[in-house]
Amino acid sequence: MKSYERKQLLERIERESATVGADIPETITVQGEAFELQSFVFEMKRVDGVAPEDRERVQEAKRNLRRERLQRKQRLENEDISFEEGEALVGAIIGLDRALNALENLGPTDLEREAEAQAAADRKRWMNFLQQALGHDEDGPRTGL
């Protein structure tokens, strides 16, 4: 993989809006063991708030997911892999981030707040798209100098 491709992939996983529309992976290998991530997240979200007996399971899952995310990011940063392998890692990392976001936000659902957050994320994505399309970056328009 070329250095500019690696940089693009790393930038994708650090975008705030990276998880918008992303799916939580059905199964993921964490610490060498298969983990039914999607069903776990949906099971925890199904109830209003986390039951006391499930809190430790949720905390442990979040720790393992963060550790796995870091390991995959370090592999993307440091290992000699193909661009296709890098894209697969990015997809997995974004899926992990999506699951982590869902687990961090467990509790009673506030539909109005979720709608506002979705609208804000949509506006931010639209502005980023417009800036890229118009050749602007955060410091203003790019010139060919």
For 108-129, letters b (16+ CB in 10 Å) and e give eeeeeeeeeeeeeeeeeeeeee
What is the token pair recorded at 117?
């957050």
CA dist 62 and 71 (Å) reads 14
Of 52 and 65, the structure prediction assigns the larger pLDDT to 65
CA dist 136 and 93 (Å) reads 28
Q: Model pTM?
A: 0.65
Q: Is 97 helix (H, G, I), strand (E, B) or coil?
A: helix
Q: Give the pLDDT score at 49.
A: 64
Of 33 and 51, the structure prediction assigns the larger pLDDT to 33
Over the stretch 85-122, which tens digit does the pLDDT of each residue have?
999 999 989 989 998 888 887 754 455 666 788 889 89
Among 24-38, 91-105, 126-140, the range scoring the smallest mean pLDDT is 126-140
Q: CB–CB of 58/44 below 8 Å?
A: yes
- Torsion angle of the four alpha carbons 127, 129, 130, 133, in this order, in degrees rounded to the nearest 10: 160
